[in-house]
């Protein structure tokens, strides 16, 4: 499927809680068929934005159109065409895995027979068919997440909203969830998600925005953002002792930029190995050296002066 017309359009979108502004006038456009990410640290306003898009929380200002409709006036019509995977699983522990899907399908008025077929397909899709008759409680965190994603797909939605779909999962469970999201994207479903995991955002998202303090500080494709705000390679140096700062002065002029963090120094360079050689030539002996590619984490650090997971 080609990426096309805008399905979500926000202009100057605001969310206030009393005097506090959680989302401070953001412009966002999500097009059909793309995977769109909201990135940012805790409290950036990602979930508040997702809740407005999900018709769960009304905007305090600005304009929002979802599928060409107004999420406040046309809430039920919009919700019928959305799949929502909230940050915390809200599965029914009294029901079996299968019943969680068939019961949810009834909220959308899906006939019982169709709901059963659909549940069977979705359980296959999220690799939970063998657990269909099991209760929810004994499932692992990763299985619950996959079931929540299946539940979000019951109404065959045009847009799926996923708020931190992999937070709290171990690496293997994360991988399984992420792999299913890739598959959905291949099927042409529009995905809108939030995540703290830069590697995942980099691989899955066609475009993303970086949020901080309720505002958008950058937007673009992962590759374009990395090209603009980072370098091809990054050298991470860790010096023994309490202060990295003391060593930073000796790295002047090395590469495009030097970032000093409490536990390491980052050198933004085009050639990591050449920079490491220059560090040695200057008589410096770091306790740890790592050469890696520039990443979205670097983009975030450059734009906000902070690392994503503080």
Element (H, E) at 155: none
DSSP state of 135: B
* Nearest residue (CB) to ligand ATP, 91 versus 211: 211
| Cα 102 to Cα 80: distance, rounded to the nearest angstrom | 16
Residues 87-146 binding ligand ATP (CB under 6 A) are none
The two beta strands, 215-220 and 288-293, are unpaired
Q: How far is the CB of 22 from ligand ATP (least distance, A)?
A: 3
Q: Does 46 bind ligand ATP (CB under 6 A)?
A: yes
Q: Does 48 bind ligand ATP (CB under 6 A)?
A: yes
* Nearest residue (CB) to ligand ATP, 239 versus 300: 300
| Interface with ligand ATP (CB under 6 A), residue from 1, 4, 12, 43 | 43
* Nearest residue (CB) to ligand ATP, 88 versus 281: 88
Q: How far is the CB of 92 from ligand ATP (least distance, A)?
A: 24
| Interface with ligand ATP (CB under 6 A), residue from 1, 42, 232, 250 | 42
Cα(first)–Cα(last) distance of the chain, in Å? Answer: 38
| Cα 179 to Cα 190: distance, rounded to the nearest angstrom | 15
Select from 1, 6, 36 the least CA-distant residue to 221.
36
Select from 264, 200, 180, 187 the least CA-distant residue to 39.
200
Q: Does 40 bind ligand ATP (CB under 6 A)?
A: yes
Q: Which stretch binds ligand ATP (CB under 6 A): 5-13, 42-50, 59-67, 251-259?
A: 42-50
Total residue length of the chain: 310
Residues facing 269 on adjacent strands: 233
Q: How far is the CB of 28 from ligand ATP (least distance, A)?
A: 14
Q: Which residues bind ligand ATP (CB under 6 A)?
A: 17, 20, 22, 40, 42-48
């Amino acid at each position: 499927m080609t990426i096309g017309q805008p399905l979500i359009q926000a202009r100057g979108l605001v969310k206030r809680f009393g005097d506090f502004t959680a989302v401070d006038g953001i412009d966002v456009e999500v097009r059909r068929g793309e995977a769109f990410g909201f990135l940012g640290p805790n409290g950036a306003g990602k979930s508040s934005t997702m809740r407005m898009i999900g018709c769960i929380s009304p905007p305090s200002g600005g304009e929002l159109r979802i599928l060409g409709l107004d999420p406040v006036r046309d809430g039920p019509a919009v919700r019928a065409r959305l799949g929502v995977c909230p940050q915390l699983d809200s599965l029914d522990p009294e029901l079996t895995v299968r019943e969680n899907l068939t019961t949810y399908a009834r909220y959308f008025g899906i006939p019982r027979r169709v709901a059963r077929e659909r549940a069977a397909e979705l359980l296959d899709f999220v690799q939970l068919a063998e657990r269909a008759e099991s209760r929810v409680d004994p499932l692992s965190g990763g299985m619950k997440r996959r079931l929540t994603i299946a539940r979000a797909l019951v109404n065959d939605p045009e847009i799926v909203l996923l708020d931190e779909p992999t937070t709290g999962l171990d690496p293997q469970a994360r991988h399984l969830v992420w792999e299913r999201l890739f598959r959905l994207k291949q099927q042409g479903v529009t995905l809108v998600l939030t995540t703290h995991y830069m590697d995942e955002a980099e691989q899955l998202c066609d475009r993303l925005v970086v949020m901080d303090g309720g505002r958008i500080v950058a937007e673009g494709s992962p590759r374009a953002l990395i090209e603009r705000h980072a370098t091809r390679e990054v050298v991470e140096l860790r010096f023994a002792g309490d202060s990295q700062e003391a060593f930073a002065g000796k790295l002047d002029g090395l590469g495009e930029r030097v970032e000093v963090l409490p536990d390491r120094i980052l050198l933004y360079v085009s050639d990591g190995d050449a920079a490491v050689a220059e560090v040695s030539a200057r008589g410096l002996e770091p306790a740890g050296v790592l050469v890696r590619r520039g990443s979205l984490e670097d983009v975030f650090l450059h734009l906000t002066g902070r690392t994503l997971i503080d």
